Structure 1
Amino acid sequence: MGFLVVVVQGNGDDCRPIRCSKHSPIIRFPFRHQTLQPQHCGYPGFDLNCDHKKDIVLVLPFSVNVVVKEINYTSQTILVYDPENCLPQKLPHLNLSTSSFSFLLDEYLISDSAIFKCSDADKSLYRFIPCLIFKFSQ
């Protein structure tokens, strides 16, 4: 009777939780740091990175980057914000169906939009988004 014993040795710390800074959320399964942790440390599409300011960055489809402010592993939610403070400008380029996440956004941000030049009397009827002002609009 013969036995074959295969010993696989690996670094047990390759999936250890990490942070981008001491104040940032912990990155752990199902997320992984895209460059510091192997792929088996997280689900596909749950890759996070650290930027030059040591913020956690989530790259959504079509290169829409958002900063992760909070990760709640119990409720399975993440709170993100646009570092450029103009998420409505990026939403038309974002195909939510290709993302691993479900989004809870303000209904006005994800609905169809139109831009008009309104008179002063009309301004109270509409939501003003300063970052969407173009050189030719007022």
Structure 2
Amino acid sequence: MSSSIAQCCEGMKCNDNYVKFPFRLKDDQPKTCGCRGFDLHCDDELGLLLKLGAADLTVDNIYYSSREIVLSDPNDCLPQKLLNLNITSTPFQGSVIAHYPMYNCSGFDYPFDFSYQRKIDCLSGSNYTVISEEYSLPRSTIPNCTFLKQVSVPTDTAYIHLNSYSSFYLTWDEQDCVSCR
């Protein structure tokens, strides 16, 4: 192994995160230093980022021994990222998947205070309210609301309200891609 290849496979730091195989820093290391789907980007302001589909997510921590990664939204609106997140085409999976129906209640600020329905502030505006439910209820129980999507959240905890998620865990299987490690 040449010295330049050996050097590329040494771990690197991005802010407080240490990056090593199977991950690689996309702009700083060759492709041979990591596996497909494990490319990370180091941003001076946002920190370490992982792109999953169309979503750029902040990497809060990587636990290499248990193969877990903790992700959050750099814009503090995780429900928005979860609306379009599909991890099935990635090398990652969640240990438990919680499902939340989401609704748009247009034309007014809906005063939800029921234990099973919650307003998602970061998705709501002055003339509409986006809500999620803890369980699927018949849509007729939510007047003047339109079903948006059922959001799937990878989680390792008991069900909590969708607006309470600030981060989530994903795991990955052991990687045996060809690398210079």
TM-score normalised by the shorter chain: which range applies?
Answer: 0.7 to 0.9
Where does residue 13 of structure 2 map in the other structure? 19
Cα distance in structure 1, aligned partners of 2:51 and 2:20: 17
Judge which range, 98-107 or 32-41, deviates more.
98-107
8 A contact 2:56–2:73 mirrored in 1: yes
Find out whether 1:114 has 2:103 as its counterpart: yes
Q: How far is the alpha carbon of 1:102 from its aligned partner?
A: 0.7
Residue 19 of structure 1: SS of its match in structure 2? strand
Work out the percentage of aligned pairs sharing the same amino acid. 30
List alignment gaps of at least 5 residues for structure 2: 130-181
Cα distance in structure 2, aligned partners of 1:84 and 1:65: 10
Question: RMSD between aligned alpha carbons?
Answer: 2.2
Find out whether 1:85 has 2:76 as its counterpart: yes
Among 22, 28, 51, the residue aligned to 1:30: 22
Where does residue 114 of structure 2 map in the other structure? 124
Give the paired residue count. Answer: 125
Deviation track 1:67-112 (CA, whole Å, cap 9, x = no partner) reads 11110001100111101111111222222211221135772xx433
Q: What amino acid is the match of 1:9? A: S
Call closer, same or farther: CA 1:129–1:98 in 2, change over 3 Å. same
Where does residue 68 of structure 1 map in the other structure? 59
Higher relative contact order (CA closer than 8 Å, sequence separation 6+): 2
Cα distance in structure 1, aligned partners of 2:10 and 2:56: 24
Deviation track 1:101-130 (CA, whole Å, cap 9, x = no partner) reads 1135772xx43311335754x423312321
Call closer, same or farther: CA 1:124–1:118 in 2, change over 3 Å. farther
**Which has more strand, going by share of residues?**
2
Cα distance in structure 2, aligned partners of 1:131 and 1:74: 35
Cα distance in structure 2, aligned partners of 1:94 and 1:137: 23
Q: How far is the alpha carbon of 1:27 from its aligned partner?
A: 0.2
**Which has more helix, going by share of residues?**
1
Cα distance in structure 2, aligned partners of 1:55 and 1:27: 12
Cα distance in structure 2, aligned partners of 1:59 and 1:81: 12
Where does residue 166 of structure 2 map in the other structure? none
Call closer, same or farther: CA 1:66–1:104 in 2, change over 3 Å. farther
Cα distance in structure 2, aligned partners of 1:85 and 1:106: 21
